[in-house]
Amino acid sequence: MTDAHRDRPQQRSSLYCELWLGPALVWLLLLAVLAASAWSAFLPLGPFNPTINLLLAGLMLFILAAFLMDLRSASPVLRLVATAGLFWVIFLFALTFTDYLSRRPTAGALPEVRSSDSDHSVRCMAFSNSSRLCGSYSR
């Protein structure tokens, strides 16, 4: 046997190691960030809990985009499209959070509607105690 035939299995194994090493390290890094996110959810940090978890989610997004989507060696047009998609998602989340934050907080659940007809009150409770839906109901 020649030396070329002996080196072929070794080349294959090194190729497999190179092929799986990068994604395996990225996967372990993502698991570490996930563990940090789960751990920080149980810390009593007050208003900083959502901030820390959103930063960790952004770090996960960066890791996925840079390594698994291979944006490091992508063409400039592909990077531009990925950046535009990222800004579009940020815009949609900003609109959603603006709507959520602009609502007034409620003091509690809506009061339960009372009626002399027991069947009527059961139907009203099926509409999640909404007095607007059940208050105008009449037989």
Q: Could you report the average pLDDT of every consecutive run of 10 residues in the chain (139 residues)?
A: 58 72 89 94 85 88 83 87 88 85 70 56 50 51
Position 82 in a domain:
no
Position 108 in a domain:
no
Q: Which residue range(s) make up the domain with 53?
A: 3-73
Please count the CA atoms within 13 angstroms of the CA of 62 that sit on its side-chain side.
8
pLDDT of residue 100: 77
Q: Please give the full DSSP string across 116-130, using - where no structure is assigned.
A: S-HHHHHHHHHTTT-
Do the beta carbons of residue 47 and residue 39 sit within 8 Å? no
The count of domains in the chain is: 1
Q: Phi then psi for 107, rounded to 5 degrees?
A: -75, -30
Position 110 in a domain:
no
Position 93 in a domain:
no
Position 37 in a domain:
yes
Position 107 in a domain:
no
pLDDT of residue 117: 53
Position 56 in a domain:
yes
pLDDT of residue 88: 92
Position 80 in a domain:
no
pLDDT of residue 67: 83
Burial letters 67-82, b for 16+ CB under 10 A, else e = beeebeeeeeeeeeee
pLDDT of residue 33: 95
